[in-house]
Chain A
């Protein structure tokens, strides 16, 4: 870092930064788009079924549809509360 750098204009390309940030956030928020319409309902009903057995909160169920070419993978991730993983008889 030379002393002269102090006087050079900062040549930061903020447009590039904006583009990269947008690409990430838009891809993230878009994931439900293009997926089947029943996805939110399916999630809700699955949650109800799970709740018949284990009390989990809505945030503990994560559902993701990933596409890879012509193959789609539906991933369901349920975080069970620590105490109630086993049923007491």
Chain B
């Protein structure tokens, strides 16, 4: 049985797809057979971030409709051989994903994968609910900014009632915070919510803090999950988050400003 992880946030543009791609790549790199699914029907982007956009032949909706089988639609990553991508459809039909169809696909994937990472669309509509419904774990991607934190709180509320685990009165879904685009220097100046502030407001466990980093854009430009850029701060932060997810105890890094030579000489 696979463990199903939903990466969600409510708000758009906070880093769900970046996180899904890196998380899936991290899990796969750690030796777990992992598939990452794009649930954003109509606005497919995971394929670009994973760098496999030209290899998409069939998609999630084709599989649900029976036009293709899973093996035809799954794209095997060229860098990590335990990593697969199931792209979203570009159809404009909002009802293309059905509850039953999603259930069947996840059930079949569960037989052969260790982890299924569901990249949720923004919002709290059908696509987001379907992405979260079967999840065992949720990663809430949040930016240290008021609208993102508020939307995260809404999503956490929805997860506690609208998932399979909640409906069946099973052990609740685990919910963890991934704080992205963190700028320690601005936090120090009192210009940005701190990681402690966000944790206090949302009252969920912290999985990781990813610093604001140029490497995220460079990685997406190149179609490489940023976690594979092992020299970058963001890549290392994702690496830590995946290790923590897998049960390792790692201290949080990148919570304070990197000081240059002048900074070190003159203090702050």
Give me the interface of A with B, judged by CB distance under 8 Å: 11-16, 18-19, 21-23, 25-26, 29-30, 32-34, 37
A19-B197, A19-B201, A33-B160 are contacts. A14–B150 as well, Cβ < 8 Å?
A: no
Q: Can you list 24 residue pairs at the A/B interface with Cβ under 8 Å? A: A12-B190, A14-B190, A15-B190, A15-B191, A15-B192, A15-B194, A16-B190, A18-B145, A18-B193, A18-B197, A19-B193, A19-B200, A19-B201, A22-B146, A22-B149, A26-B149, A26-B150, A26-B153, A26-B201, A29-B154, A32-B157, A33-B160, A33-B161, A37-B161
Contact of A22 among B150, B160, B194 (CB under 8 A): B150
Give me the interface of B with A, judged by CB distance under 8 Å: 145-146, 149-150, 153-154, 157, 160-161, 187, 190-194, 197, 200-201
A-B CB pair tally, cutoff 8 Å: 45
A22-B201, A37-B161 are contacts. A29–B192 as well, Cβ < 8 Å?
A: no
| Interface SS of chain A | helix
Complex CA–CA separation, A21 to B201 (angstroms) = 11
| Interface SS of chain B | helix
The answer to whether B193 touches A30, judged by C-beta atoms less than 8 angstroms apart, is no
The answer to whether A13 touches B190, judged by C-beta atoms less than 8 angstroms apart, is yes
A29-B153, A29-B154 are contacts. A23–B191 as well, Cβ < 8 Å?
A: no
Contacts of B154 in A (CB 8 A): 29
Chain A min CB distance to B56 (Å): 39
Given contacts A14-B190, A18-B193, 4 further A-B contacts (CB under 8 A): A15-B192, A22-B146, A26-B153, A29-B157
The answer to whether A14 touches B191, judged by C-beta atoms less than 8 angstroms apart, is yes
Chain A min CB distance to B103 (Å): 22
Complex CA–CA separation, A30 to B158 (angstroms) = 10
Complex CA–CA separation, A25 to B160 (angstroms) = 19
Chain A min CB distance to B226 (Å): 26
Complex CA–CA separation, A56 to B225 (angstroms) = 56
Nearest residue, chain A, Cβ from B160? A33
Contacts of B191 in A (CB 8 A): 14-15
Contacts of B194 in A (CB 8 A): 15
Complex CA–CA separation, A15 to B144 (angstroms) = 9
The answer to whether A33 touches B157, judged by C-beta atoms less than 8 angstroms apart, is yes
